[in-house]
Amino acid sequence: MHICHYRYIFSVLIALCSIIASASDDPLGTQDALPLKPSLRLNEAQGDPCQDISPKHALNLFDSVNLALCNNPQTREIWASARVQAAQVGINRAAYLPSLALSAGLSRNWPANGNVYNQRNAGLSLSYLIFDFGARAANLESAKQLLAAAGYTQDSTVQAIFLAVVQAYFQSQATLAAVDSAKLAETAAHASFAAANARYLAGSATPADKYSAQTAYSQAKLNRITAEGVHRNIQGTLANLLGLEAGYPVTLIAEHDQDVPDSFEQDVHALIEQARKQRPDLQAAAAQLQAAQASTDAARASGRPSLSFGATTSYQGISGSPWGHSSTLGVNLSVPIFSGYAPTYRIRSAEAQADVKQAQLDKLNLQVALDVWTAYQNLTTATQALHATSDLVRSASQSEQMALGRYHAGVGLMLDVLNAQSLLANARQQNIQARLNWNISRATLAQAMGNLDGDLIQRLSEETSIAVTEITPVKAP
C-alpha cells in the first residue's frame, strides 16, 4: 500500500512541476505596465529604434539624440530601475494567490531499546489569505503607483538627456562656426599685416602701422587656436553623452541658417498650465504621493485581524508498518493584540512620508512655473538678439570693407582697419552665440513644457541639416 502513496505523492509533484514549467516568465503580466525602452519613436510600428544604430556615419540631431538614448548608461540604469519596480508589482499581486507546499522526509532512528527503524513522511499543504482589511490592496496600490512614478521618472530622465544632447550638438556646431570665423579673422588680419608691411617697405606707412597690424595678426592666430581647443572639448562632451569614449571621431551633419521668426509671442500663463499637465517629473511626484498614501493605508491595515484558509494532507509511515494518513481543513483568524507600539509608529512614519511627498509635489509645481517662465523669456530674448546680431554682422562687414578700401587707396589709417576687423570678428562671434542661444532656448522651452519628443527633435534635425562635415579630427581609440 505504501507504494500507492508514493505514486500519489509523485504524481502530485509531477503535476506541480508541469504547471510551473508551462507558466511564462511573467505570469502576472507586470511587463505590460513597463514604460518603453528609452529611444526616439516616430510611430509605434517602427520596431526597435536602437537596432543597427551606429556612430560610424554622419549624425543629424535626431540620430544623435537616439544614439544617446540607446547607448547612454544613464538610460539603461533608469530602465532597469523601472523593471525592478515592475517586479515589485508582481510580488504584491502574488499575495492574492494561494500558496501550495509539498514536503517529504526520510529518517533513521536508533532508540534506547535497540529497535532501529526508518520513518517516512510526505505532505501537501494549501494556504490562502481570505481577508486582511485592505493590507494587500494597499500594498499593491503602492507598488503600482511607484511603478507609474518610475515610468514618469524615466521620461524625465530621457528629456534631460534629450536637452543635454541638443545643447552639446548645437554647441559643437557653434564652436565649429566659431573656428571658421576665427580663421576668417586670421586671414583678414594676415592680409592687413601684409598690406601694412608693403606700405612700410615702400616708405608710405609708419612702423607703428606695421607693428599694430602684426600684433592684431598674432592675436587673431591665438583666437583661432583657442576656438579650436574649445571645439575639441565640446566634441568630447558630446561623445560622452552618446555613450562613447571622449576621443571617438563623431561626424555631424553640417548646419545651415534657419529661418528665424520675427518674434515669439505666446500666452505664458497658458504654457505654464499646459506644462503642469505634461511634465513627467511632476507626474512622477504625484504618483509618489499616491504611493505614500497607499503605504499609510497598508500600515494601518497591518495592525488589524486577518482571516485565512488552510488545508493539509500528510502521510507517515514506520518501517514494517502501514502508512498513516491524516488531513486537516479549516480557517484561521489572527487578531493582533499588542506589538510593542510598533504599528503606531509605522503609521506615523507613513503619514510623515506622505507629508514629505506632498511638500515635494507643491515645490515642484512652483518650479515648473518658474522653468516655463524663464525658458519663455530666454527664447523671446534670443529671437530678438539673433535678429540684432544679424544686422550687426552686415553693418560691421560693410564698415570693414570701407576701412580696408580707404587704406589701400592711401587715405585711411591702419588703426581704422584694425578696429573695423575687430568689430566684425566680434559681431560674427555674437551672431554665432545668438544662434546657439536661440536653438538651445527652443529646446529648453520644449523640455520645460514636457514635450521634448521625437517629433520635435525630427523637425529640429530637418531644419539644421545639409552637407556632411567631419568635425572630429581626433583619432579613434
pLDDT digits (tens, 9 = 90+) for 193-228: 998 898 888 888 888 888 999 999 999 999 999 999
Confidence bin at 442 (pLDDT 50/70/90): confident
Q: How many domains does the chain have?
A: 2
Cell, residue 372 = 516655463
Checking if the pLDDT of 183 tops 80, the result is yes
Residue 410 burial (10 A CB sphere; 0-12, 13-18, 19+): exposed
Task: List phi, psi (to 5°) of 476.
Answer: -65, 145
* Of 80, 206, 83, 189, residue with least CA distance to 420: 189
Average pLDDT, the chain: 84
pLDDT at 456: 65
pLDDT at 1: 40
Checking if the pLDDT of 29 tops 60, the result is yes
pLDDT at 467: 32
Query: In a 3-state reduction of DSSP, which class is residue 253?
Result: strand
Whether residue 416 lies inside any domain: the answer is yes
Same-domain check for residues 125 and 202: no
Please state, in angstroms and as integers, the Cα–Cα distance from residue 430 to each residue in 76, 164, 183, 317, 464, following that order. Answer: 38, 22, 16, 94, 19
Q: Which of the listed residues 285, 317, 338 is the one where a domain comes to its end?
A: 338
Cell, residue 318 = 514506520
Q: How many of the other CB atoms lie within 10 Å of CB of 252?
A: 24
User: Strand ranges (DSSP E) for 372-467?
Assistant: none
Checking if the pLDDT of 39 tops 70, the result is yes
Same-domain check for residues 254 and 374: yes
* Of 450, 61, 156, 214, residue with least CA distance to 205: 214
Same-domain check for residues 447 and 369: yes
Please say whether the beta carbons of 471 and 176 come within 8 A: yes
Whether residue 226 lies inside any domain: the answer is yes
Checking if the pLDDT of 455 tops 90, the result is no
Distance CA 387, CA 376 (A): 17
Q: 67 versus 49: which is more confidently predicted?
A: 67
Task: List phi, psi (to 5°) of 252.
Answer: -115, 155
End-to-end CA distance of the chain: 74
Give me the helices (H) in 203-341, please.
207-241, 268-278, 280-301
Same-domain check for residues 346 and 376: yes
Same-domain check for residues 327 and 185: no
* Of 96, 92, 80, 2, residue with least CA distance to 35: 80
What is the CATH number for 325?
3.30.1300
Checking if the pLDDT of 357 tops 50, the result is yes
pLDDT at 204: 82
Confidence bin at 294 (pLDDT 50/70/90): very high
Q: Who contacts 76 (Cβ-Cβ below 8 Å, separation ≥6)?
A: none
Cell, residue 176 = 565649429
Same-domain check for residues 285 and 233: yes
DSSP structure class, residue 302: T
Distance CA 136, CA 138 (A): 5
pLDDT at 261: 61
Residue 192 structural domain: 57-97+134-303+341-470
Please say whether the beta carbons of 129 and 306 come within 8 A: yes
Distance CA 347, CA 169 (A): 50
Q: Who contacts 102 (Cβ-Cβ below 8 Å, separation ≥6)?
A: 9, 12, 13, 16, 122, 123, 124
Cell, residue 214 = 602684426
pLDDT at 118: 84
Identify the H or E element spanning 360. helix 342-408
pLDDT at 126: 87
pLDDT tens readout for residues 312-335 = 888 887 776 777 888 888 888 888
pLDDT tens readout for residues 253-281 = 876 656 566 656 667 888 899 899 989 99
Whether residue 319 lies inside any domain: the answer is yes
Q: 455 versus 375: which is more confidently predicted?
A: 375
Same-domain check for residues 326 and 403: no
Average pLDDT score over residue span 390-405: 92
Whether residue 43 lies inside any domain: the answer is no
Same-domain check for residues 64 and 12: no
Question: pTM for this one?
Answer: 0.76
Please say whether the beta carbons of 213 and 183 come within 8 A: no
Q: Which of the listed residues 291, 319, 338 is the one where a domain comes to its end?
A: 338
Please say whether the beta carbons of 38 and 48 come within 8 A: no
Average pLDDT score over residue span 403-421: 88
What is the CATH number for 441?
1.20.1600.10
Same-domain check for residues 82 and 199: yes
Question: Given CA atoms 15, 18, 22, 24 in this order, what sign does their dihedral have?
Answer: positive
Same-domain check for residues 324 and 437: no
Please say whether the beta carbons of 189 and 216 come within 8 A: yes
Please say whether the beta carbons of 186 and 214 come within 8 A: no
Q: Which of the listed residues 338, 358, 387 is the one where a domain comes to its end?
A: 338
Whether residue 264 lies inside any domain: the answer is yes
Rounded to 10°, the helix 268-278/280-301 angle is: 50
Q: Who contacts 395 (Cβ-Cβ below 8 Å, separation ≥6)?
A: 427
Same-domain check for residues 169 and 149: yes
Same-domain check for residues 353 and 410: yes
* Greatest mean pLDDT range, 9-18, 237-246, 303-312: 237-246
pLDDT tens readout for residues 105-162 = 888 888 877 778 788 888 888 898 888 888 899 999 999 999 999 999 988 898 889 8
Distance CA 42, CA 453 (A): 9
Confidence bin at 341 (pLDDT 50/70/90): confident
Q: How many of the other CB atoms lie within 10 Å of CB of 183?
A: 16
Distance CA 279, CA 167 (A): 20
Task: List phi, psi (to 5°) of 450.
Answer: 85, 20
Identify the H or E element spanning 444. helix 414-449
Checking if the pLDDT of 81 tops 70, the result is yes
Checking if the pLDDT of 186 tops 90, the result is yes
The two beta strands, 117-131 and 306-318, are: antiparallel
